[in-house]
Structures are given as C-alpha cells and as structure tokens.
Structure 1
Amino acid sequence: MNDSRFTLEDNVLKGKVVPYPPFEFNSLGELILASLKNNPKLVGQIDGKTGEEYTFDQMRDRSVRCALWMKAHGLLPGDVVVVCDNQHLDVAMPCYAALYVGAIFNPLYVGMSKRDFCHMMKTTAPKMAFVNEELATTFAAAAEEINLDLKIIVFGRVSGFFEFERIINEQENEKVQNYECTPVKSSGDTAVILCTSGTSGLPKGVALSHIVLMKVQNRPALTVLQADRALIVTPQAWVTGTFTMLFTVCANATRLIPPPFDENTACALIEKLKIHSAFLPVNVMNRLVKSDAVKKYDLSSLKNVTSSGAILSVAAREAFIKAVPSATITVGYGMTEVGGVIIRQSPGSKFGSSGHVLEDSQLKVVDPATGKVQGANKEGELWLKSCTMMNGYYNNPEATAKAIDEEGWMHSGDLGYYDEDGEIFVVDRLKDLIKYRGYHISPADIEDVLLPHPGVKEVAVVGLPHPLDDEHPVAFVVRAESSATDQKVTEQQLIDLVATEMGDFSQLRGGVKFVDCLPRTESYKTLRRYLRDLATSVAAS
C-alpha cells in the first residue's frame, strides 16, 4: 500500500496524523454566538416549504432570549434540555441556547414511543423539554410516570404549558444585547446527547463534547453538512441533522430546512432552488430512482450527492447515476460514537467501497470468533478509533464498557474488510446476519439482487426461525407503484431471481412477504427487529 493518506501497521489502518490548530473558544456555544454576532445580515435559515427566512441577527436574538429564560428558570451548566419537533425555523433556538448557558441539549425523534421517551428521560433526567403541540401531553405523562420535574415549552400553543413565543418575548432588550455565554469548566464537557437509532433495542444516548464538535467542524468529513443551501434529508435528531444545524452557522452558510421527504417534493425543491449539493440516505436514493419524480423535474443542478448510514450497493449507485447523471456520489462510513464519518470515498474509489480511513482515525478488522486481527481481504468486525470519540453512553457505563474496550477501540458491530489498496468495504451488521445450517448469510447480498428488479420499490431480508436449519431467509418487499412497472411482481418471480443469481445457501426458503411499507427509524434505517418479530410470529403460526 503506497498512499500518503494512511499507513498500515500491524494490520491496523492509520489515517495521517494532522494536529489541530489552537481553538479560539472553549465551548461550541461561544463559537456559535460569535458567528451569529459577526454576520448579522446573513440569511442563516430558509424554510423550504414556506420560503420564510431568519437572518443571523434574528437567530441570535431568539436564541439569546431563550437562553435568558432558561437561566432565569434555574437551568445550570451540565443540565439537560430535550428538543423534540419536526424541523422548522425555531427548533434550533433552544439547542443554541442550551449551549450558551453551558447545558446539554438532547434532540429526540418525534416518532418515538412513550416508552422510548420514558427510557431516554430516565437516562438523561432533563430539566426542560421543547416540544411540538402534539407531544406536549405525551411528555407530561411520561414525566409523571417516571416522577420527573420537567418544564415543558411548546412550539405553538397548548393550554397549561409554556409557549416558546411568549417566553422569548418576556426578555429585556438590554440583557439580550449584552448577553455573554456562561463558561464551561472544560471543553471536554458534554455538549450534546444524540440517540442511537434503536434498530436492535432501546436507544442509548451518545455524549459528544464541545471539543469533539469543534474538531469535527474544523475538519469536516462530510463538507455537504456545511454547504450553502444544501438539501439535507435527515431529521434533526440524527447526527447529520444536528451537525448541519450547528456547523452551517460556524461556516457562515445558509441552512435549508426541507419539508418532510417525499419523492416529488424533494425533486421539485431541487429544481426550484437549483440545489447543488445534497445528503441523501441510501433508502432515499433508492426511493428516488424507483419513482417517476426524477423524470418530471430538472435535476441537472445537482452536482454532489453524499450518503452514509447504510450500505450503498453497486447496483443502487449505478441506478442513481443513470437517473441523475449530473451528480457525483460520495459515500462515507462512521458512527455517532466516533464523531460521525471517519471513512470516506475520494475520487477514484472503487464501487462498493466506503473509501479510506480519514485523518486522525484508525481501523482494524477483528475475527469475532477468535479475536485475531485480520489482514487484507479477510472479513471480520470493524473496530474504530478516532480523536473525536464520544465521552461515552450518557449515564450508561455498562453499555460504554461493552462498546469501547480498554485500548479505546469502538467495536462497531459491522462486518467488513479492507483490500490490498486500503479501501474499506462494509458487508453487513453482524447482528443482521442470517444463520443457515451453520453458514452465515448477508441479508444485504440478497437485497442487492432483489432491489434492481423494476417491480421492487424497497426490500429487507431477515431470518425466519426454522427447527432444523436455524433460519431461512425471508424477504419483505414493497412493490413499486403501478406507474413504474407494467404489472405487479409475484413471489415466485423473486424467488426464481434469487435462485438464478445466488448460491444454494442464500435461497429465499422463507419466501416473500409483500407489505405496504417497511418499518423505519426517522433516520430511514430499517427496523429489522420488527421484521424479525413478524417473521418469528409467522413461523410460530
């Protein structure tokens, strides 16, 4: 391997070590407030649905007013503030405000269940929650259930709750103009708690510090998250959504707040605003190429598309390039626990790879059965290390100890390998592998065969329990719209397709189940545990 970007030492891929410059600020809140003050006339946010805008001055004014109210109502450095709503112009304000007062903000997905809300609030013990009108009573009930003293502030108006617009209007103009951030004790203090996706169980809270966030902002792995007026199709509670909200301010860029995703709305927005860059999860890319929307709208302005969070197959990549030929696709791989993306493609990267390990990051491949570190082209669990690692899972030392070993390696739970050129290939989640007569089968391999079929819009493969064979692969399929194909695909056609393209072990012995939609997290990841439960109930019946 002859590449100046990384070295290979004892089967460990090591990105180039590049020192960070001294940081001017000790907290991310200080950096954000300074940026807002220094560029008051810059348009900082645009609502993609309504066209309404906030300048940096408006964002500073509204976030500072929120911070003054927080402090007046007893919020202290280190306290936690929950923020839970769909994206709109004011959702970021309590997040910035919490950072100003040295507190921690914790964005939650609006689609969480009451059980999940209770679990996360037991873990983080928030003092305040900023929520939408629909969730106010749910949060109140959850807080009562776990005996939590919680101030609930509503974006809108619900009787009996604080109203966001009213609390910010209560503040004195002089205090707003002279406001300064509360210093944090250390730049290593936690600034934000981000939830894991919860695809395999209850979510955990990933604690990221001020210094980690400032390092990520200073040397972004995904520049699209700081790009001007980029289309970022993720909820704010996901790591890319939160990073975009924070880092566009630091980069003096305008953040586009898109409406909830659907194929036609997204394509219409690209055409209308001549969008140049976009972050699209793999599932969203697949949905776009399977729809008629890419043909209805002019997408030629779209030059750069970035994706992460799932495996982008060669077939899916080629289908997207065919549908949107103006766009260059860059794939990244990482985890919230290591500060986001630490592996990224570069020009000339091989199709199917996630690229090379980035600066100040390391990777090794470990055999899950023996613990032996693997060499090139040998599969195993990906272990990761970076200078932007989490402080740990918030208030969960047991889970932290299971995830990060004594040498500081994050055990990703992902199966993969690197080749002779140091390019890294992610194969699947270890927990998602299907066991058939002692052999391990990758669901992603079967999905890659099924997804290109014109009659298939979405697909997920899981293991169906079997008394003799361990598990049989079963495919849950969402059919393509009738306008996209002449006739509905049948179960036998898909079974025959896999039989033709794949070996005997990977056959769909569990059959094909057609569904209206796949269960997904708000970050567009498939909730395979729900599908496994469904497959188990089918086997039992």
Structure 2
Amino acid sequence: MSFTSPFPDVVIPNVSVFEFLFGNIDAAAQSLPALTDSTTGESVTYGALLAGIECIAGALASRGCAVGDVVGLHSPNTPAFATVFHGVLRAGGVATTINTLYTESDIAGQLRDSDAKFLFTCAALLPKAEAAADQAAIPRERIFVLDEVEGFSTLQDLLDERQASPEVQFDPSRQLAVLPYSSGTTGKSKGVMLTHRNLVANMCQISGPIGIGPEDKILAVLPFFHIYGMTVLLNSALHQRASLVTMQKFDLEQFLQTISSFRCTYAFIAPPVAIALAKHPLVDKFDLTSLHSVFSGAAPLNRELGEAVARRLGCSVRQGYGMSEMSPVSHLIPFDRGDIPLNAVGVTVANMRCKLVDASTAVEIEQPINGTSAPGELWCAGPNVMVGYLNNQSATAETIDAEGYLHTGDIATVDADGIVTVVDRLKELIKYKGYQVPPAELEAVLLTHPGIADAAVIGVADGNGEEVPKAFVVEQPGADLEKAEILAFVAERVSPHKKVRAVEIIGQIPKSAAGKILRRELRAIDSL
C-alpha cells in the first residue's frame, strides 16, 4: 500500500511557468528587487526582469524560435541568467541548461542530443561553447553572449531591439519547458523531459513547507543550471517575490561576506558547504546573524553535521530529497518541523504517493502502524514526475513503471508518521558535491589507458565525509603504473567534477558470472 503526504493536495493551475510566476504581478511587486549580483551590487527589479523576459522572447521569435525549439543556456548564476531562462520559456522554447564545468565534448554532446537551435553563454565560457556549438551545427549568428564580446550578439543587443513577445499557445501539461541532463539511476547522461506543468506542480508542492517569503533575501550560490537551483532557488523565490543574491561560484570567504553584506536570510546549500560552515575558522569572522534558515539538498546531509551548523550559526537547518526526474523535490523537512531529525529527508510533498519495494523480491513493504519499516527501494508518483527521457524509451520504461511510479534507485525507510529516511543507494551513481558522476563513464576513460587491463569505479567517503570517485585498476602485463599518472590521465579527459580522486591497483576486478562488476565487493576491499 502506498503512503502519501501529511499535507492536503494543493491546486495546480494548468498554466505556463511564465503565467504562473508573472501573470498576476502587481505594480507594488514590480518595484521590488528580484535579483542582485553579489559581485557588482547591481540589482534588477521585478518590473525590469519582466520587461527583459518579454524582449528576449520577442528577439528569439523574430529569429525563428518556435514553440518546442530547444535553446541552450550555458552560464553561471547572474541576474542575466534569469532573464534569458524565462525569456526562452515565454517564447515557447525549451531551455536546456548546461553545466558550466562541462568540457567542449560534454557541451557539444548535450547540444546535439537535445537538437538545440540557439545557444546563450558568457565571455568566460565562450571558447568552449563556440567550439561545441560548431560541432552541433549551431551557426555563429545564433550564439548570444550575456556580457560583452566583440563579434557576437549580446544580451543587451537583444534587449535593445525591443521586439514584441510572441503570442504562443500550448498545453502546459504536454509542452516541455526545460531539458536538464541527468544520469538517472545509472549510465550515460540523458535529457530529462520536464513540462511546464511539472515545474509549476513542484513549485506549488513546496511553496508552503519550504518557508520562503517576500521578505527573504536568498543567497543563490547553487547553480541555476542544476534542477535544484532552478526550481528551489530561482523559480520558487521569484514566485514568492523574494530577492535573490547571486554568486557565480562558491568561495567560502565570498559566501560569508555576501551573507553579511547583503543581510541574507536564507541560504540553500549542498553538504560540502555545510562542512565548511561547521568547521572552518573563517565563519567566526563574519556577522551571519541575519540568516534564519539553511536548506541542504543534492546529496545526503549527515545529522551531526547539520546540527553542528545549526548550533554554530544559530539558525534552523533542514534538508530535502529529490531527483531531476521529479522536478526535483519529492521529500523535505518543513521549515516548521524541528522534530524531524536531520538523518531523515522528511515527509512526502503534497500530491505525491510513494511506496517502498524490496529490491530483491519486488514485494511491497507496508508503512508500519508503529515504528519504522524495513528498507526498500523508494518509488514515487505525482504531477512533478517527468514525462520521460528524451529519445530514450528503454531508459524511460526502466525508470517509470506502468502505474506511473518513478523508481528512484535509493533505498529508504518510512515510519508511522510518514517520515522518510534514505539509508543506502541501489543505483551506481556517485554524487560528488551534488553533481552526478556515472561510474561507467570513468571506467570507459580508464580503459583507454594503454597500461590498464580492467577498471571499476565506486563512490567512497573522503576525510570530510564527501563521496568521491575511486578507481580500482588492473595493470596490463609488464605495466608499472603510478597512481598519480592515472589520476592525471583521467583529469585531462573529463570535467573537473568527474575526476577520479583515489586509485587502488588490484589483481582482478570482481564480477558476476554475467560480467557485471560486483561493486559491493570493491567496497569491502576499500574498507580493509
């Protein structure tokens, strides 16, 4: 039997993301600051943001962008990101947001797979982006730079055209809004098809329990290109008419200085930032008293670590759980539930139903009347679940069953009060600093080394409790491998967040009779 949310179902309007966020904006709200650049201090009001969105939609439409056309967005967090992102959606386009750490090959692969017609980037990322766009057959005149670069159309050029936004019509429950890329439970990165209704649903589901209000100043350091930053920071904050203070990348001193200088009230982080907040001596040098809440996501937050952050900063600490495939939030600890321990991911959000299934027997595990259930794979269904993976019916069928349940690949328990705790990972994905690292991708790179006969990669905990990729390699006969050489070999061929962080040379990779890597045995070797 499935279990549901302690919250009553919420009404989810059948409207576009643009209409949901800005359709009822009043004159008073338009004068409020929407986004502020922490580096320059420059702010964009809601009125200016709305005007910019309409201009970008018009400029894209005038260049042939039609409903359903995909537009790449490759940029760190800036106010301009919000203008372009929502301009694309306003035009009926589909935004495929691209990791700023991606290599040229990674970018080109996403642009080709998504069939992107346009690309927005920034000066610092232009060399890789331009080369990738060329590989994806995106012409130079369809590459736009958010800042200033000679020879390219800029964001300001598009705004100055003052093109009228187009009249577009589509079914929000069917029309894609965004196409982030995720490795799902395993394997190659895939386009996650999220509709306007998916995104609107998740904003409705979390708006109450997450506790953002119009008086909040929210520190936005988690990247908007990631679904967590896109929904929980950018869109949810705009929906509540809060103010976002953007940072382009994480630097601890700048992070602390931004909170202090801008009097930020709410910070969304990933667990590696929590480690610094709990332990680093720099924290004591800044006035962080404006901060009332810290919310952690993208990877599991250790209970003791979260409690240490709460004690040190004198604020509430909460965490949540989700996947790109769920837009992304399915579970969270509500802002007013201090009774839920931080080793849990909280309760199911409204309008969702979940079940636990024994991974070996496929038998459903009942929610207990008292105490806590046995562990099982967490399955989730609801209006925020993706419509599928782009051009990949087999992966979609493996992930979403005939009843609409998304199989998360995570092992969890549920107690009598509906509190869910993730206890293990069935899937093979490694989550490094919130980024997904598929072991298979690193194994493929390792096997191109002439001195490596076989290889396997697992996630292991480093000294800070962060999950990092560790490679186990078997040498070719006569080879004399150095660990540092292997680390460098991989680092030259992958994005920075995918680098192998540790290496162990062993005699044989343990495998099943069918040839599947036995990662549990590798973990046993690692623990020796």
Could you state the TM-score of these two structures normalised by the residue count of structure 2?
A: 0.77
Deviation, 1:79, is 0.6
1:428 to 2:427 alignment: no
- 1:253 CA displacement: 2.0
- Does residue 202 of the first structure (1) align with residue 188 of the second (2)? yes
CA–CA distance in structure 1, aligned partners of residues 250 and 136 of structure 2: 34
Q: By how many angstroms is 1:45 displaced?
A: 1.2
CA distance in 1 between counterparts of 2:35 and 2:25 reads 12
Confirm whether residue 81 of structure 1 aligns to residue 71 of structure 2: yes
Task: Give the aligned partner of residue 356 of structure 2.
Answer: 365
* Aligned with residue 293 of structure 1, among 257, 275, 282: 282
**Counterpart residue identity of residue 309, structure 2:** F
1:535 maps to 503
Alignment of 1:10-159 (within 5 A): 10=1, 12-16=2-6, 18-21=8-11, 23=13, 26-35=15-24, 38=27, 39-149=29-139, 151-159=142-150
**TM-score relative to the length of structure 1:** 0.75
Q: In structure 1, give the amino acid aligned to 2:99.
A: Y
- How far apart, in 1, do the equivalents of 2:383 and 2:184 lie? 25
Matched-pair identity in %? 25
Aligned match for 1:223, one of 194, 210, 213: 210
For structure 1, which runs of at least 5 residues remain unmatched after alignment?
1-9, 435-442, 451-455, 468-510
CA distance in 1, matches of 2:286, 2:507: 45
Q: Which residue of 1 aligns with 2:297?
A: 308
* Equivalent pair of 2:376/2:412 in contact (CA under 8 Å): yes
Q: Residue 336 of structure 1 aligns with which residue?
A: 324
Counterpart CA distance in 2 for 1:536 and 1:311 is: 26
Cross-structure match for 2:168: 182
Determine if the alignment matches structure 1 residue 401 to structure 2 residue 388: no
Note closer, same or farther for the CA distance 1:81–1:463 as it changes in structure 2 (3 Å cut). closer
Aligned partner of 2:451 in structure 1 is: none
**For residues 451-466 of structure 1, what are the structure 2 equivalents within 5 Å?**
456-457=463-464, 459-460=466-467, 465=472
Inter-CA distance 28–364: structure 2 relative to 1 (3 Å threshold): same
Aligned to 1:493: none
Is structure 2 residue 340 aligned with structure 1 residue 349?
yes
Instruction: Look up the equivalent residue of 2:148 and give its one-letter code.
Output: R
Aligned-pair CA distance for 1:318 = 2.9
Q: 2:445 matched to which residue of 1?
A: none
Contact 1:47–1:258 (CA<8 Å) still a contact in 2? Answer: yes
SS in 1 for 2:79: coil
Q: Distance in 1 between matches of 2:10 and 2:26?
A: 25
How far apart in 2 are the matches of 1:60 and 1:314? 41
Matches within 5 A, 1:479-490: none
Amino acid of the structure 2 residue aligned with 1:60: L
Q: RMSD between aligned alpha carbons?
A: 3.5
- State the match for 2:179 in structure 1: 193
| Residue aligned with 1:214, SS | helix
Which residue is 2:268 aligned to?
279
Distance 1:113 1:333, change over 3 A: same
Q: Which residue of 2 aligns with 1:477?
A: none
33 and 15 in structure 1: CA distance in 2 versus 1, 3 angstrom threshold: closer
1:264-291 alpha-carbon deviations (Å, 9 max, x no partner): 2112222222322211111110122231
Task: Give the partner amino acid of 1:373.
Answer: E
CA distance in 1, matches of 2:202, 2:470: 38
- Give the SS at the match of 1:106: strand
AA partner of residue 362 (structure 1): R
Deviation at 1:158, TM superposition (A): 3.1
**Counterpart secondary structure, 1:21:** coil
Pick aligned residue for 2:377 from 372, 377, 381: 381
The residue type equivalent to 1:110 in the other structure is T
Number of equivalences: 457
Return the alpha-carbon distance in structure 2 between the equivalents of residues 125 and 464 of structure 1. 34
* Displacement after TM superposition at 1:414 (Å): 1.2
Q: 1:259 offset after TM fit, Å?
A: 4.5
CA 1:42–1:460 in structure 2 vs 1: closer, same or farther (change >3 Å)?
closer
In structure 2, the CA distance between the partners of 1:29 and 1:429, relative to structure 1 (3 Å rule), is same
SS in 1 for 2:60: helix
